[in-house]
């Protein structure tokens, strides 16, 4: 990996290193718009054509039937089912902890306000099928959707050339409680879930990772009033370590990210130059025997190590970079937790590999990338609910609040607003007269 | 208002009545793109030109200085300051109740996960200056931004023809703790806050209402990696009442919404036809003396009343319509709270006018419109923070989790993932050897 020394970089060069390209390639936006228009006009027929073009398979029926599900679950070895079950249990447990009931507040006598969660009626999950099969993503989306109580959950996954979909994905869906799976991929899946077709039900919100086409299609979906989790770019990790770190483990953590794809971003930040050298040697060594070495190598070649003067500076750089995953691998890592401001998910200390969160510790792995961790959060139970505010006033509550309400209505020149208060309070007096 | 009877409508006609137009007018998107490109290329100079074109004023300096702030606060009558202070106190109090600390969870022995809030570093608030001056919106955005601890908060508001901005808006900003206000409006304000200029700092997130240009510009901003609160359309209220309701108050509630603008949406849902007739008569009566009667009348003319068979049906229709504001004005309104699934903010019972939430009860008035309440929530403390997940494993925790992690890495063919676990667990053994 390239090595930069922070002290030799200008403010602007540092900022540049933190930039990742957001999605606004006009050609892709235009293509997605066209796909939406076609799916709107011709429904399943258009989806069928795109599936033929992009996935190379002519599918009559996109739906996965019960027998296919059953077969997918049955063919999994016991240890796979157990691994899924461990992950599901931990994901449920952690996401359940996000379900805190807010108590009603009597903000002033007779004025009570509260907020309550309501599951989103219909959610569409997307799981890609690119260079890796990702059943773990099914769990990360399906488990919190079920936990939130979303009544309708459907999943789209691109079909394979033979018209099937990965049994691992189906088994993960089944164990998560999902029963509606469509063999549709790419922008056409997002369009179908946004607009609805003869066979695909339109949804309220679409969540899940995917390539540039899928993510751009999600952006287009928002212009049709469908909500999305986020626009996700390539996966990222930033590792902060000091001289005490074990190069072999640091290299393994970087490679675990790099093997996702050639565009994965891996960044090493440390105050130890010898460590960078040792990690670089380890990278070479480990890459040699890695099955996905070509992807990992391509990723690492365009990644970098940053030599900083202190751990304080390391964490500050990380906050600017706003990585999807942050590994705090320095000595006494826990002490730095409070300084982390911008990151999707943070792995604290030497025994916390990112892989734990990728799969089974319970945290969600659908996280903001491309510096969006500075303004967005990962998928959580919140992603599957609307939070509705309520208020109930008593007559006395309204009376006490009335002067403020009428004054504000007056300064905003909204007489109708004032009347809605005044007419209520004058009602009983009129009756009494 | 037009009257529909639900029993006479087809499923499709009912769905049609719930539709509001989302924002995807290509001409506006193109104009906004052009504004972004110009502001990116020429910074303040471009902003100055747009301000001349759209606001009709040639401004050398967009910034509001301390003296202008001071003057704005000083010139407010005591009762206005008090009304602001009441609103601020209640907004603070209610939004503070949303700040629930989640406790760390030991999902299994030695595997501890938690989630913590971090204030977003830099937020840009937008307050429009169309047919009404809206200091209340400043409070609704500024107070939770301060409460969340956002270190940088700036506000854009369109200048008036004389180059000033409303002292009410400035006073509200000052009392909310905002010190950085720019006299910039429209899409150029959103572009400036997204891209930064010589004088305007780029922000991480943009929040606030505005016309179609501002909202479309916010959509464009997301393609530059800036987060937004929501894409907001015209304001809406849906009022559910039964025969016990007072027509005068129902009409006042409808008018309080309608007076916002000709495109405001007001809907009356009831099981009593005589009530609809009485409300219609009241509307005529009240409109006659309303200062903003032309706007309100235009809004009401394109709005409707829906006669339903029962209160159950009324609430179901409301859930489909997903109104920004819902007034539950029927007898024993509290009983229906649990059935409300899709609404921005709900006003329960006869003493709870929407106006309370517009101004000073403490709930936020920046809410999802255009049926977005089915998949989105209003502005809250959550809108100003990122929620970051953390995890810390012990050696034993990782050991216990390792079989699941390695199995999942194996089925996803990600050997690098498995190694990040294996190398950690083999380390000490090697040392021990």
Mutate which: B253, B389, B403, B410, vs A, most A CBs within 10 A: B389
CA distances from A103 to A389, B97, B176, B265 (A): 12, 7, 25, 31
Indicate whether B299 belongs to any domain: yes
CA-based nearest residue to A331, from A346, A349, A305: A349
Which of B103, B219, B413 lies nearest to residue A291, judging by beta carbons?
Answer: B413
pLDDT in tens, A16-41: 899 886 656 778 989 999 999 999 99
Q: Are residues A246 and A312 in the same domain?
A: yes
Closest CA of chain B from A301, distance in Å: 17
Indicate whether A299 belongs to any domain: yes
Which residues, at least 6 apart from B190, have a Cβ–Cβ distance to it below 8 Å?
A: B32, B126, B156, B206, B214, B217, B218, B220, B221
C-alpha to C-alpha distance for A238 and A354, rounded to whole angstroms: 10
Q: Are residues B114 and B224 in the same domain?
A: yes
**Is residue A52 within 8 angstroms of chain B, CB to CB?**
no
Q: Are residues B223 and B238 in the same domain?
A: no
Pairing of strands A385-393, B304-307: unpaired
Six-digit token pair at A253? 């953590």
- Measured between beta carbons, the chain A residues lying within 8 angstroms of B342 are 118, 121, 386, 388
C-alpha to C-alpha distance for A211 and A338, rounded to whole angstroms: 33
Q: Which of A236, A259, A282, A324 is catalytic?
A: A324
What's B112's domain CATH number? 3.40.50.1980
Which residues of chain B fall short of a pLDDT of 70?
Answer: 21-24, 427-433
Which residues, at least 6 apart from B365, have a Cβ–Cβ distance to it below 8 Å?
A: B136, B137, B140, B345, B357, B358, B359, B378
Which of A121, A260, A407 lies nearest to residue B374, judging by beta carbons?
Answer: A121
Q: Are residues B184 and B326 in the same domain?
A: no
Interface ipTM: 0.96
Judged by CB atoms closer than 8 Å, whether chains meet at A370 and B225 is answered as yes
Q: State CA B71 to chain mean position distance.
A: 30
Residue B414, helix vs strand vs coil: coil
Residue of chain A whose alpha carbon sits nearest to that of B403:
A83
pLDDT in tens, A374-410: 999 999 999 999 999 999 999 999 999 999 999 999 9
Contacts 24+ apart (CB under 8 A), A9-14: A14/A317, A14/A320
Give the H or E element holding residue A119.
Answer: strand A111-119
Q: Which of B324, B396, B415, B428 is catalytic?
A: B324
Judged by CB atoms closer than 8 Å, whether chains meet at B356 and A391 is answered as yes
Judged by CB atoms closer than 8 Å, whether chains meet at A414 and B292 is answered as yes
Which pTM value belongs to this model?
Answer: 0.95
C-alpha to C-alpha distance for A165 and A184, rounded to whole angstroms: 10
Q: Are residues B134 and B274 in the same domain?
A: no
Number of structural domains found in chain B: 3
Q: Which pLDDT score is estimated for A223? A: 86
Judged by CB atoms closer than 8 Å, whether chains meet at B374 and A361 is answered as no
Q: Given CA atoms A141, A142, A143, A148 in this order, what sign does their dihedral have?
A: positive
Which of B87, B376, B407 lies nearest to residue A79, judging by beta carbons?
Answer: B407
CA-based nearest residue to B352, from B333, B374, B369: B333
Please name the residue ranges forming H helices in A177-211: 186-195
Q: Are residues B292 and B331 in the same domain?
A: yes
**Range(s) of the domain holding residue A410:** 394-432
Residue A63, helix vs strand vs coil: strand
C-alpha to C-alpha distance for A358 and A325, rounded to whole angstroms: 10
Judged by CB atoms closer than 8 Å, whether chains meet at A423 and B115 is answered as no
Q: Which pLDDT score is estimated for B233? A: 87
Six-digit token pair at B282? 């009241």
CA distances from B231 to A203, A227, B387 (A): 18, 11, 22
Helices B273-288 and B293-301 pack at an angle, to 10 degrees, of 150
Contacts 24+ apart (CB under 8 A), B32-38: B32/B187, B32/B190, B32/B191, B32/B213, B32/B216, B32/B217, B32/B219, B32/B220, B33/B220, B35/B187, B35/B188, B35/B191, B35/B217, B36/B187, B36/B191, B36/B194, B36/B195, B36/B217, B36/B220, B36/B221, B36/B224, B38/B191
Judged by CB atoms closer than 8 Å, whether chains meet at A390 and B345 is answered as yes
What would the mean pLDDT of A171-198 be, rounded to a whole number? 97
**Domain end call among A386, A402, A424:** A386
Indicate whether A374 belongs to any domain: no
CA distances from B22 to A287, A387, B342, B367 (A): 49, 21, 17, 15
Phi, psi of B97, deg, nearest 5: -70, -15
Q: Are residues B124 and B193 in the same domain?
A: yes
Which residues, at least 6 apart from A372, have a Cβ–Cβ distance to it below 8 Å?
A: A230, A231, A322, B225, B227
**Is residue A282 within 8 angstroms of chain B, CB to CB?**
no
Indicate whether B373 belongs to any domain: no
Q: Are residues A305 and A225 in the same domain?
A: no
Q: From start to end of A193-330, where are the E strands?
A: 205-207, 227-228, 236-241, 265-270, 304-307, 325-328
Q: Are residues A204 and A71 in the same domain?
A: yes
A428 classed as catalytic: no
**Is residue B400 within 8 angstroms of chain A, CB to CB?**
no
CA-based nearest residue to B64, from B171, B136, B138: B171
CA-based nearest residue to A205, from A53, A428, A427, A386: A386
What would the mean pLDDT of A350-367 be, rounded to a whole number? 97
Please name the residue ranges forming H helices in A223-310: 247-258, 273-288, 293-301
Taking one residue from A and the other from B, the number of pairs with CB-CB distance under 8 angstroms is 431
Burial A180-203 (b: 16+ CB within 10 A, else e): bbbbbbbbbbbbbbbbebeebeeb
Say whether pLDDT at A431 is over 50: no
Q: Are residues B344 and B422 in the same domain?
A: no
Six-digit token pair at A374? 């500075």
Q: Are residues B13 and B47 in the same domain?
A: no
C-alpha to C-alpha distance for A72 and A65, rounded to whole angstroms: 11
pLDDT in tens, A227-268: 999 998 899 999 999 999 999 999 999 999 999 999 999 999
Indicate whether B414 belongs to any domain: yes
- Measured between beta carbons, the chain A residues lying within 8 angstroms of B324 are none
Judged by CB atoms closer than 8 Å, whether chains meet at B87 and A404 is answered as yes
C-alpha to C-alpha distance for B315 and B246, rounded to whole angstroms: 19
Q: Are residues B38 and B152 in the same domain?
A: yes
Burial B194-227 (b: 16+ CB within 10 A, else e): bbebeebeebbbbbbbbbbbbbbbbbbbbbebbb
Judged by CB atoms closer than 8 Å, whether chains meet at B223 and A132 is answered as no
C-alpha to C-alpha distance for A154 and A122, rounded to whole angstroms: 8
CA distances from A288 to A279, A284, B138 (A): 14, 6, 59
Indicate whether B371 belongs to any domain: no
Indicate whether B372 belongs to any domain: no
Which of A98, A375, A391 lies nearest to residue B205, judging by beta carbons?
Answer: A375
Please give the full DSSP string across A373-420, using - where no structure is assigned.
GGT-----GGGGEEEEEEEEE-HHHHHHHHHHHHHHHHHTT-HHHHHH
Residue of chain A whose alpha carbon sits nearest to that of B76:
A411
CA distances from A335 to A314, A318, A331, B71, B290 (A): 14, 15, 9, 46, 61
Closest CA of chain B from A242, distance in Å: 17
CA-based nearest residue to B357, from B43, B90, B26: B90
- Measured between beta carbons, the chain B residues lying within 8 angstroms of A404 are 82-83, 86-87, 359-360
Judged by CB atoms closer than 8 Å, whether chains meet at B136 and A412 is answered as yes
What would the mean pLDDT of A134-159 be, rounded to a whole number? 97
Q: How many residues are listed for chain B in this entry?
A: 433
**Domain end call among A386, A402, A420:** A386
A324 classed as catalytic: yes
**Is residue A350 within 8 angstroms of chain B, CB to CB?**
yes
Q: Which of A236, A259, A282, A325 is catalytic?
A: A325
Indicate whether A146 belongs to any domain: yes
Closest CA of chain B from A391, distance in Å: 5
- Measured between beta carbons, the chain A residues lying within 8 angstroms of B430 are none
How does the average pLDDT of chain A come out, rounded? 94
């Amino acid at each position: 990996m390239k090595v930069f020394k922070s002290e030799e970089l200008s403010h602007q060069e540092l900022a540049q290193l933190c930039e990742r390209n957001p999605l606004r390639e006009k050609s892709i936006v235009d293509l997605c718009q066209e796909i939406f228009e076609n799916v709107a006009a011709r429904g399943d027929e258009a989806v069928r054509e795109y599936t033929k073009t992009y996935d190379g398979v002519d599918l009559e029926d996109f739906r996965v039937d019960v027998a296919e599900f059953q077969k997918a679950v049955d063919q999994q070895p016991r240890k796979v089912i157990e691994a899924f079950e461990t992950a599901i249990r931990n994901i449920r447990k952690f996401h359940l902890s996000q379900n805190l009931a807010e108590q009603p507040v009597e903000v002033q006598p007779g004025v009570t306000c509260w907020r309550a969660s309501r599951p989103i009626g219909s959610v569409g999950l997307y799981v890609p099928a690119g260079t890796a099969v990702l059943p773990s993503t099914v769990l990360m989306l399906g488990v919190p959707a079920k936990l939130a109580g979303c009544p309708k959950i459907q999943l789209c996954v691109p079909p394979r050339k033979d018209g099937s979909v990965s049994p691992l994905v189906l088994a993960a869906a089944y164990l998560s409680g999902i029963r509606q799976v469509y063999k549709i991929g790419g922008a056409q899946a997002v369009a179908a879930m946004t607009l609805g077709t003869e066979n695909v039900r339109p949804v309220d919100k679409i969540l899940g990772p995917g390539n540039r086409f899928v993510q751009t299609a999600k952006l287009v979906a928002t212009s049709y009033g469908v909500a999305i989790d986020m626009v996700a770019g390539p996966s990222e990790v930033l590792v902060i370590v000091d001289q005490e770190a074990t190069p072999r483990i640091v290299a393994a953590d970087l490679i675990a990210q790099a093997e996702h794809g050639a565009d994965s971003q891996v960044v090493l930040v440390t105050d130890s130059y010898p460590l960078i050298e040792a990690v670089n040697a380890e990278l070479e060594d480990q890459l040699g025997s890695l099955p996905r070495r070509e992807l990992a190598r391509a990723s690492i070649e365009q990644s970098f190590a940053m030599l900083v003067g202190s751990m304080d500076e390391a964490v500050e750089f990380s906050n600017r970079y706003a990585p999807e995953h942050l590994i705090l691998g320095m000595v006494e890592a826990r002490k730095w937790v409070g300084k982390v401001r911008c990151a999707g998910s943070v792995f604290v200390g030497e025994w916390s590999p990112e892989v734990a969160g990728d799969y089974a510790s319970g945290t969600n792995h659908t996280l903001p990338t491309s510096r969006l961790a500075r303004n967005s959060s990962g998928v959580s139970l919140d992603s599957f609910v609307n939070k509705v505010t309520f208020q109930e006033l008593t007559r006395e509550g309204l009376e006490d609040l009335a002067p403020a309400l009428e004054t504000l209505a007056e300064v905003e020149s909204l007489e109708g607003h004032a009347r809605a208060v005044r007419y209520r309070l004058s009602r009983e007096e009129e009756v009494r007269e």
